[in-house]
Chains A and B, each alone.
Chain A
Amino acid sequence: MIITQMKQIFLFTALCAVILSATSCKKLDVPIESQYTTSNFPNTAADYAALYGTMYSNLSSSFGVPYWRMQELSTDAAIIPGRDGNFDDAGQYRQLHYHTWTFDHPNVITIWQWGFGGINNCNRLMNVTTGSTSTAAVKTAGIAEIRAMRALYYFFMMDLYGNVPLIQSFPVNTLPGNETRANIYAFIEKELLAVSQVLPAKTATNQVAVYGKPTKAMAFALLEKMYLNAEVYTGVPKYTEAVAMADSVMKNTTYALDAKYSDIFDVNNGPQITETIFAIPYDQQIPGNQITRFGFFPALAPAYGIPNVGFSIAMSTTPDYYNRFNLSGDVRTSFWLAGPQYKPDANRKPDLTQPVYFSGTTTQININPILTLVPGKPMDVGNTIFSQEEGVRSVKYWPDVNAIQATRLNGNDMPLLRLADVMLMKAEAILRGASPTAVNGEMQTPLLLVNKIRARAGAVAATSVDLNSLLDERARELSWEAWRRNDLIRYGQFETEYPLPNDVLSMNKDITRRLYPIPSTELKLNTNLKQNPGY
């Protein structure tokens, strides 16, 4: 009896042991579900397209706010004053305004990571492309596209930080040291010249396909920008080369000035804009453009058809900059909001029969261009209704009625390189010593080029043009397009102060501020990097 029981028990134990040893393995390799990882991505053409998409999604992510702020808030074109302590945000906007940023300014850190993250990503994409099973033609086109985008990221880094490391492949086994700005310049030049041979040219039929992507004209226009600033970047002027690059762009007649200035920046701008050479596409789904969020006036939102979104009262231009909009008939002036405010009509002109009041009152909104600081407070205009009205706001990038409270995004694409800029740069290069040239049978003098721009804007024609008036023309034409810092440095005017009433702080006029510092975080992580002079 007992023996039978024992048998049964041993049998059961043995069974358990078998079950146990069947499961008792050390297998920890659990298949990865519902995530793309190296084992299941990339495979298809769509995978590669999505991978390439990261070059552009990264570009749009930080171009519209942190990059833009470094290029504009450090100049007279834009300012975010404190509003009774609001928008102080640890002094980051006033540091930009007074050139007192430090190596741990949030924009300085973010944009470095954005740029080098973008560059590293391009290098990785080159590995992936080279290792793919695509045809040689597909690979060549892909590599050219990646190199052009990498050159663009390098251009941003060289323009902002100057002496940055040069990384051309992935993985990076040793932490790279700095290169001189001139070496980076030379690298970008070499890359752009090389890929301009391979990149597609915009045609009448491929404009959708190449929109927001590198094209021959993008490479030429960027080279023109490089050559125009070559003296700043390398000490060696290249004005003739700048003119040549402008002509290379203009020879392609699919690029033409659009009849309506406002179309270029409209919510629905896109491939149909004939003068855009390279734009950063934005949409409610492509985040990054928050121009309206910061640069519009919130109490006007209902009148502009966006009643449910609370915009910020933060950003405006300075009186100095606004005063440059002094040409009669100039449509470009009308996109600044100053004085008594009216609801815009169908043509986006103020409808004088429909004044806009502060909600629940009969007080008409009246924007005062003068920014008067509260005595004793650093760059703070106060936060009364009256002081909220201080500062000229902008609707150049027309407010997007599809904006929602959660994101406060604009769908307006932001042009980075466009024909008007190419033309003004050419005019400037000539004024700086290059010879005028003819394009498509037309001899282009600086005056001719400037007046083409003015004519499109409806402004009075200029009778003469010199370097200073050209800088003002650039201010009017290219306001809030993220070039002001670049222009002022080239003109040696980056250190020109434009004090506000009751200003207790003053600008750091050290010319070492023409370069941003290498961020503290990066110096710590990469001990081979050396800080820029002056920091």
Chain B
Amino acid sequence: MKQNYMLISRVKHHIKWKALTALLLLLIVSINTFAQQSGRIIKGKVTDESNTGLPGVTVRVKGTKIAASTNSDGNYSIKLEGAQYVLVFGMVGSASKEVVINGDQSVLNVTLLPDSKTLNDVVVIGYGTSSKKNLTGSITSVSAEEFNPGVTVNPAQLLQGKVAGLNVTVSSDPNAKPSATLRGPSTFREGAAMEPFYVIDGVPGMSIDLIAPSDIETIDVLKDASATSIYGSRASNGVIMVTTKRSKEGQSRLTYSGYGAVQKISKQYDMLSAPELRDYLKKNGQTLNSIDDDGSNTNWQDLIEKTGYSQNHNLSYSGSQNGADYGASVNYLDNKGVLKNTSLKRTIVKGYVNQRFFNNRLKLGLSVTNSVSSSENVYQGTALYNMLFFLPTVSPFNADGTYKENYNRTGNGTRNPLSVIDNNSINQQNNKTMINGQAQVDIISGLKFTATISTQKDQNNYSSYLNSQSGLARGVNGQAVKIDSLNKVTVAEGYFNYDKQFGKHNLKLLAGYSWEEDKSNDGFGLTTQNFSNDNLNGTNLFLSNPTALSQLIINNNPVSTLRLISFYGRAQYSFDDKYLFQGSLRDDGSSAFGRNNHWGLFPSVSGAWRIIKEDFMQNAPVFSDLKLRTGYGVSGNSLGFNAFSAITLYGTPPTGSKYLSSTGTISNAIGYTQNENPNLKWESTSTVNIGLDFGLLKNRITGSLDYYIKQTSDLIYGSYPVSTTQYPLPTITANAGKVKNTGIELSLNALVVKTKDFSWNSSPNISHNKNVVVSLSDALYHLDYIQTALLGGKGQSGIYSQIIQPGQALGTYNLWQYAGKNAAGVSTYYNAAGKIIATQPLSTDAKPSGNAQPKFIYGWSNSFNYKKWDFNFLVRGVYGNKILNATAATLNAPGDSKLQNIPRTTLGESFNDTNDYLLSTRYLESGSYLRLDNATLGYTIKPKVKNIKSIRLYASGNNIFVITKYTGIDPEVNMGGITPGIDNNNFYPKTRTISVGVNASF
């Protein structure tokens, strides 16, 4: 029976597959012929508006592979060939220009205008490209020259403030990944499940860490489902398409870019000094225990923080000749954190070669990228916590040079922060290699077949050593952890593109198949202890001497192999560049889901009307472009799943792992660890998007306005309660929730001033998103709310600070309601009945109180050019969000000032207030901020030396100032995940960075 079913499904699929192919073949109507003609020489000069010669402009004879480039004076010379005598002039940052050669013309001088978001810009849309004017979906492109400067580790940082609707939060921690949320959170799962899907040079599912920011040419952000659903089940959170720099035809290029940066901490907590603390205690009739006061005055923040010096070097070269193009780059980044012993060193080497055969009709390509990184980290949770709380009245060291500790002290400052940093290390080595092979065949005119095979190997080696002086592993003579894991991704794809123009009709078709296998978590993890000295830093686990089995911890390391298979197709049709239509369909299968729901279908339709092309618009001279777009599509979310998500698992039971066997030995019990859910399926997001693109005053002002409604259903939550009177385990992973995001986005680009020597280009964007949890339940699974954000704190074990509840946004705080101080100076709270109480409230007294989602996110980029000078700055910020400053709450414990340091603000509190540290609405602060994120001043030299094209020197500042009412270190707390907007004693210090750099091309 099962066999039969398989057969039927295979037959079905074959029919579908054949139908797609047949459709393509039917539409092929003509075969181009190639005419060979001998040519003549055309010479000329390419200049900019100020008549300065432009070097490095590509000059191409249209329809051929013949190309040349201008020299340092802007002069070129090219031999004509082919049927058409049309020259195409192009250069990065300028609008390309096509000029028809007249009869016997032999000189052609051309002026190229700087690019003001021209409509012919090519946008990467997934399995193909499109010109911007032909887009029907919502896509934002950001090119290299618009990227944020500064010490950038991850490409998401380049986009901060540049893309309406994309909320990127960046930590100054060199080893932390930025979080990126597009158009609001639409899942309850954290990590990859909430992040956009990355596609690198057309290869889906590769790690974004493989790409050095300086190797990126453009980033296209696909926002609505009509644009993203071609990526089907992984596209719910948007797709970020990264295109790396490639050589241009007929050019050879050598560039070097590099910078050095100084990173300083932008703000510290104002904690009391030792004399101030002693004074405060004395005033309140208190004295420190003698062990807690040795007469010192230690500033712990200064002791474990430092100035970070970072550098980045990137050398790349590329060339193109004889039907081959090739290139390579080496990038080295050394990013030192501002917390002692935190750093990242990374080297990325990349190379590619493409060769054309058979008169350009077959193109074979290979690219290899390798990224090796080495990072150093500390136990940040403990270190950052104690840096604030540890008493300033003791010195870091005892007289004998050992670290001073008082383990019997209770409260929050129980571990010497310097000791935490010096005696506990984390080292991580990562080695990623991506190999991508591609073959492209022009079968007949307009019909192209592309096959790619890509692999990624990601080897991660984690080791940590808590040495014999460590306060985190006391009395064990050194504890070492080693975790090695290997993740492999293999993607094979094949797709046909067919482009055909007949008359005013333009048709583009795509049909493809993709097969992907992810094998992850192949490795082991081991913890052992007891070394005879610390000299080896735990690098050789064999030399440990664990005295009991419980001292040897073996990690649970299930290898997960996940397979994804997809069929996809897309049709784009336009009439007269005026009416545009697009439809796409993707059928995705994933082994992650329940056997009843392996497959999901993701359709989209969209259309656009270029109103500007209508006759009546000819009388509206103000408009130079006007396009109305609308689309509907469904995309899925299967990110963040492993191969075992839906099946019954046996393993170490969650309730107790070991038992005493009948032989008297301790043995592993093996029991149910997961309830099976054969119906587990994709989360699916349907988006309706309406957009308007416009250009005014000959496109001096361009912009886009988008409105969307994004509804996500079948949200997966891992802990739906089921009755233990029915199931062996109390929770199941199931789809039942619904979330809705509605929003509006506006981006503008204006060439404000344009004179011969001076130009000012200004690009503001603003977006608003409203997130609401619609439901958490369906017929089978029910939840009234999900409590999240278990922050702990004195007497607050088991108290949650956020709630996911229908009618509220994700990230809604659920807090005790502060009612001010009573006559005795004691903090009071409203209980559930509305009565004011001066004691600690109960968990049932908490109420929903605001949320962490910003009402607006905005960014405003500006670039000024004056002769050889350029100046850019970016202002960005968020408005209308709340941050729970749990750090301030925990610090504000005057009654504990014998045990832990207090901030200056606490001096105003009554010593007898024993409730002031409780997490309540008192510590819910506005998270709005406006930051001058970066400003860069550059100077470009174009020396009249033959081998140097240009050299740009620049100086740049990051986080120059921030305007905010937030009282913590910085309002840019993590906005990703399901517990956004919480500052809980673990905030990696924010930095202010000054960098100087050079970009040189030869």
Contact = CB atoms under 8 A, between A and B. Distances in A.
Interface of A: 2, 5, 8-10, 12-13, 16, 19-21, 23-38, 41-42, 47, 49-51, 53-54, 56-62, 82, 84-92, 106, 112-117, 120-121, 124, 165, 167, 170-172, 175-176, 208-213, 270-271, 281, 283-288, 298-299, 307-310, 313, 358-361, 376-378, 383, 402, 404-405, 521-522, 524-526, 529
A89 B797 contact: yes
Contact of A13 (B443, B549, B724, B842): B443
Q: In the A-B complex, list the 4 residue pairs whose CB atoms are closest, starting with the nearest.
A: A53-B669, A61-B656, A308-B475, A54-B671
Interface string B1-36: 000000001100100010000000000000001100
A120 B725 contact: yes
Nearest to A4: B358
23 contacts: A9-B361, A9-B443, A13-B449, A26-B599, A27-B563, A49-B662, A54-B670, A58-B655, A61-B655, A85-B915, A88-B796, A89-B798, A90-B796, A90-B842, A113-B724, A116-B724, A171-B726, A175-B725, A209-B662, A286-B666, A307-B474, A308-B407, A376-B839
A281 B561 contact: no
B648 A16 contact: no
Interface stretch (B385-393, B688-696, B727-735): B727-735
Given A26-B9, A53-B668, A53-B669, A522 B647 contact: no
Nearest to A377: B839
Interface in B731-763: none
Contacts of A38: 647-648
B535 interface: no
User: Taking each of A27, A171, A285, A359, which has the highest tally of chain B beta carbons within 10 Å of its own beta carbon?
Assistant: A285
B548 A117 contact: no
A296 to B, nearest CB: 14
A36 B650 contact: yes
A113 B915 contact: no
Nearest to A122: B728
A27 B13 CA distance: 11
A35 B17 CA distance: 35
A60 B656 contact: yes
Given A16-B441, A208-B664, A120 B727 contact: yes
B653 interface: yes
B849 interface: no
Contacts of B562: 30
Nearest to B843: A90
A47 B408 contact: no
Nearest to A102: B844
B660 A56 contact: yes
Interface string B581-601: 000000001110000001100
B410 interface: yes
A270 B644 CA distance: 39
Nearest to B529: A404
Given A47-B670, A283-B658, A117 B649 contact: no
A535 to B, nearest CB: 15
B640 interface: no
Contacts of A308: 407, 474-476
Contacts of A30: 517, 561-563, 591, 643
Looking at chain B's contact residues, the main secondary structure is loop
Interface of B: 9-10, 13, 17, 33-34, 289-291, 358-359, 361-362, 406-408, 410, 414, 439, 441-443, 449, 451, 473-476, 492, 494, 513, 515, 517, 548-550, 557-563, 565, 589-591, 598-599, 643-644, 647-651, 653, 655-664, 666-672, 721-730, 782, 784, 794-799, 838-840, 842-843, 895, 914-915, 917-918
Q: Which of A20, A47, A89 has the most CB of B within 10 A?
A: A20
Given A21-B17, A23-B492, A49-B662, 18 more contacts: A2-B34, A9-B362, A9-B443, A29-B591, A37-B648, A41-B650, A42-B650, A59-B656, A117-B655, A117-B728, A165-B725, A170-B728, A208-B664, A210-B662, A284-B548, A298-B408, A360-B289, A404-B550
Contacts of A62: 655-656
A121 B441 contact: no
A486 B449 CA distance: 78
Contacts of B647: 32, 37-38
Given A85-B914, A284-B548, A172 B670 contact: no
Contacts of A47: 670
B412 to A, nearest CB: 11
Contacts of B649: 35-37
Contact of A124 (B655, B658, B728, B799): B728
A87 to B, nearest CB: 7
Contact of B799 (A49, A61, A90, A288): A90
B848 to A, nearest CB: 18
A156 B290 CA distance: 50
A361 B408 CA distance: 12
A209 B729 CA distance: 29
Contact of B561 (A16, A33, A376): A33
A211 B664 contact: yes
A310 B406 CA distance: 11
Contacts of B917: 85
Nearest to A402: B548
Nearest to A90: B843
Nearest to B722: A525
Given A5-B358, A57-B653, A26 B667 contact: no
A19 B796 CA distance: 61
B664 A58 contact: no
